[in-house]
């Protein structure tokens, strides 16, 4: 089951989630962060790290609402952390939940009592072995997915939530829907694995439910829990579980570890055989469950939560008899942890070298190990690229250098004259084309007023209007040079980019072409005039010869007629 995802629309390539993930379970594909479920331990650190609020937690709130709407009996297993989160109104949570339609509310620590009894037996063992508590779902996933060699050190017992869910089924009937409410995301995965758990809600989702239903805790009366078994209320605090142990005759040291990175350090030490006869009480969250990832961003600081939990724990009531007619003996507390190891493929040195070369790293000196890509070293990033977990373009120094190189090339080779001028009308940059045009070196032009080279009135106008001036024609050097000037206002840097295109040669060529065209027209007109004269002369000659021909032919006709008349 996937419990976390990221919105495609707002992922901004900051790689904060990649940096925060302690087990490299986030890959970047097409510039989008994606959770790799086979590696994720649902610790929630990526959610806290994301600066753009693009995280999305899979919710079962509508599912729970549907349980109630359809008339099914819903029983809530409430994590004691909730009593530390809701300020001084924790005692009113039961009333609020029952107002929403929940039939019964018990604390998850009811199940913790049973699990603690099993744990307690391990503190008397002396087998040169280390043991790790299995209360924390994230720690369990961490070991199963990333450190399977340490599975034998996990105490093979179900979590307090699993135990409580099974107890609730026995107590209220197999048809009831057991819903856990707590600060943990990994419990959502646990809820999918445990058939006695119907749904898992976070404290943040509970707050949302209250808001949607218009429930205000301060307007409600206090209602007691449906079970008085509350001796384990310190469970959500660091060392809270082991504090419930009977210290008599213990043969093994008990050490509390909180925070996923410290847990990893200890687990790797166990894997190397560095510890013996130590009982590790582990919690993936810093400050244990009180620092859970799904409490809500508006929650008060951790120390206020601790104080409230301590005050709440002092209200411990006498314990009920645990047998309850022997029903607890029907609960199977055993658990088998599975090897879910999904290794990262290790490329060869040649393959790593090739990937590094592709992002401009040809020697160890080029490997900055800056961590901007989310990985602590360039080599680790290269391994991630090889495993299709990262993209070469995630290397920000390389991409910055590449972008700067391209921009510098364009700036240097363009034939356009470019000046960068600040608000005080001082030149702050000068490209090679400008050096050639104004016959001044860049280092000499920098910090000079732009008025030495150009009329500053146009620049002042752009500053005042904050609008660009485009395609303005200027004559320079006593009208010997003609340029097209564009001044572009850059708001973020509050500078002006002045681009001049020297049109002198183009204008000279155009003028030359105009003269050629005029000369050609004159020549054509002269030819036409001559042709008209010739045509007129030809027409005159043709007229004279035609008349003479007519006279001659007329005479010839008469002679013939006269000759024919004489003969007759």
Residue 325: what pLDDT?
Answer: 38
pTM of the complete model? 0.73
Region 321-344: mean pLDDT is 74
The reported pLDDT for the residue numbered 13 is 79
Question: What integer pLDDT is reported at residue 326 of this predicted model?
Answer: 43
Helical H runs in 300-390? 302-313, 349-358, 378-386
| pLDDT tens digits along 381-404 | 999 999 999 999 898 888 877 777
Q: Which residue do the tokens 């400008």 mark?
A: 434
Count of C-beta atoms within a 10 Å radius of residue 286: 16
**Three-state secondary structure call for residue 174:** coil
What pLDDT was estimated at residue 323?
43
Higher pLDDT, 185 or 86: 185
In eight-state DSSP terms, residue 494 is: T
Residue for token pair 């301590």? 310
Per the document, the length of the chain is 568
Strand, helix or coil for residue 112:
helix
pLDDT the model gives residue 111: 87
Query: What percent of the chain shows pLDDT beyond 90?
Result: 49
Contact present, 331 and 170 (Cβ < 8 Å):
yes
**Highest mean pLDDT pick, 33-47, 301-315, 326-340:** 33-47
Mean pLDDT for all residues in the chain: 85
Can you give the pLDDT at residue 190? 94
Query: Per-residue confidence at 244, pLDDT binned at 50, 70, 90?
Result: low
Instruction: Select the more confidently predicted residue: 425 or 7.
Output: 425
- Per-residue pLDDT tens for 405-425? 777 778 888 889 999 999 999
Give the alpha-carbon dihedral of 266, 270, 272, 277, to 10 degrees: 130
Angstrom distances, CA of residue 241 to CA of 2, 346, 442: 29, 39, 71
Q: How far is CA 245 from CA 133, 234, 248, in A?
A: 13, 12, 9
**What region does 134 belong to: left with phi over 0, alpha with psi -120 to 50, or beta?**
alpha
Q: What is the pLDDT of residue 556?
A: 76
Q: Is the model more confident about 90 or about 36?
A: 36
How big is the chain by its Cα radius of gyration, in Å?
44
Long-range contacts of residues 362-369, Cβ cutoff 8 Å, at least 24 apart: 368/397
Report yes or no: 25 and 41 within 8 Å, Cβ to Cβ.
yes
Half-sphere exposure (Cβ direction) of 227: Cα atoms closer than 13 Å? 28
pLDDT digits (tens, 9 = 90+) for 500-524: 988 887 766 666 777 777 777 777 7
**pLDDT higher than 80, residue 248:** no
Nearest to 97 by CA among 205, 230, 256, 231: 205
Over residues 330-358, the mean pLDDT reads 92
Q: Which helix (H) or strand (E) holds 519?
A: helix 504-567
In the predicted model, is pLDDT for residue 551 greater than 50?
yes
In which band, very low, low, confident or very high, does the pLDDT at 322 lie, cut at 50, 70 and 90?
very low
Residue pair 99/220 in contact by the 8 Å Cβ criterion: yes
Cβ-based neighbour number of residue 16 at 10 Å = 17
Does residue 565 surpass a pLDDT of 80? no
| Residue 103 near residue 74 (C-beta atoms within 8 A) | yes
Q: Phi-psi region for residue 258, left (φ > 0), alpha (ψ -120 to 50) or beta?
A: beta
**3-state helix, strand and coil shares in percent for the chain, rounded to the nearest 5:** 45, 15, 40
Please state which of the ranges 28-32, 48-52, 139-143, 497-501 shows the lowest mean pLDDT.
Answer: 48-52
- Give the model's pLDDT for residue 320: 47
Tens of pLDDT, residue by residue over 80-134, are: 888 888 876 767 899 999 999 999 999 898 888 888 888 888 777 667 789 999 9
| Residue 354 confidence class, pLDDT cut points 50, 70, 90 | very high
Question: Residue 78 has which token pair?
Answer: 């409430």
Per-residue pLDDT at 319 exceeds 50: no
Count of Cβ atoms closer than 10 Å to residue 294 Cβ: 23
- Whether residue 25 has pLDDT greater than 60: yes
């Amino acid at each position: 089951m996937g419990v976390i995802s990221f919105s495609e629309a707002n992922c901004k390539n900051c790689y904060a989630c990649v940096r925060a993930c302690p087990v490299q379970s986030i890959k970047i594909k097409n510039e989008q962060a994606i959770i790799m479920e086979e590696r994720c331990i649902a610790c929630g650190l990526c959610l806290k790290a994301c600066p753009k609020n693009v995280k999305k937690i899979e919710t079962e709130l509508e599912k729970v609402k549907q349980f109630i709407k359809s008339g099914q009996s819903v029983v809530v297993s409430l994590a004691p952390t909730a009593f530390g989160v809701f300020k001084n109104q924790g005692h009113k949570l039961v009333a609020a939940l029952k107002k929403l339609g929940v039939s019964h509310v018990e604390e998850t620590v009811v199940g913790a009592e049973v699990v603690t009894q099993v744990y307690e037996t391990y503190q008397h063992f002396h087998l040169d072995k280390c043991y790790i508590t299995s209360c924390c779902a994230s720690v369990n996933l961490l070991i199963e997915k990333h450190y399977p060699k340490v599975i034998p050190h996990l105490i093979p017992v179900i979590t307090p939530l699993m135990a409580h869910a099974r107890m609730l089924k026995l107590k209220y009937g197999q048809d009831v829907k057991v819903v856990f409410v707590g600060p943990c995301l990994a419990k959502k995965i646990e809820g999918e694995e445990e058939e006695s758990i119907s749904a898992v809600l976070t404290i943040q989702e509970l707050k949302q439910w209250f808001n949607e239903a218009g429930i205000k805790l301060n307007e409600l009366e206090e209602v007691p829990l449906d079970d008085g078994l509350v001796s384990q209320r310190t469970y959500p605090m660091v060392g809270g579980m082991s504090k419930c142990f009977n210290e008599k005759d213990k043969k093994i040291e008990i050490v509390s570890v909180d925070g996923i990175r410290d847990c990893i350090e200890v687990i790797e030490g166990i894997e190397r055989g560095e510890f013996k006869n130590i009982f590790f009480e582990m919690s993936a969250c810093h400050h244990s469950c009180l620092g859970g990832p799904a409490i809500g961003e508006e929650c008060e600081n951790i120390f206020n939560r601790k104080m409230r939990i301590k005050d709440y724990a002092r209200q411990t009531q006498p314990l009920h008899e645990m047998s309850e007619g022997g029903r607890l003996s029907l609960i199977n507390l055993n658990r088998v942890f599975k090897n879910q190891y999904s290794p990262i493929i290790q490329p060869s040195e040649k393959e790593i070298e090739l990937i590094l070369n592709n992002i401009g790293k040809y020697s160890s000196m080029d490997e900055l190990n800056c961590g901007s890509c989310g990985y602590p070293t360039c080599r680790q990033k290269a391994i991630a690229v090889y495993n299709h977990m990262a993209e070469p373009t995630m290397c920000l120094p390389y991409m910055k250098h590449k972008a700067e190189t391209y921009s510098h090339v364009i700036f240097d080779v363009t034939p356009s004259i470019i000046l960068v001028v600040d608000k005080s009308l001082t030149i702050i940059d000068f490209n090679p084309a400008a050096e050639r045009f104004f016959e001044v070196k860049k280092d000499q032009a920098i910090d000079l007023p732009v008025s030495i080279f150009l009329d500053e009135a146009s620049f002042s106008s752009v500053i005042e209007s904050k609008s660009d001036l485009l395609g303005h024609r200027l004559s320079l050097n006593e009208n010997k040079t003609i340029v097209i000037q564009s001044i572009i206002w850059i708001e973020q840097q509050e500078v002006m980019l002045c681009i001049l295109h020297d049109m002198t040669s183009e204008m000279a060529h155009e003028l030359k072409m105009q003269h050629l065209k005029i000369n050609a027209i004159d020549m054509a007109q002269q030819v036409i005039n001559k042709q008209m004269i010739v045509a007129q002369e030809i027409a005159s000659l043709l007229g004279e010869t035609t008349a003479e021909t007519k006279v001659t032919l007329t005479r010839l006709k008469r002679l013939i007629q006269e000759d024919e008349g004489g003969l007759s």
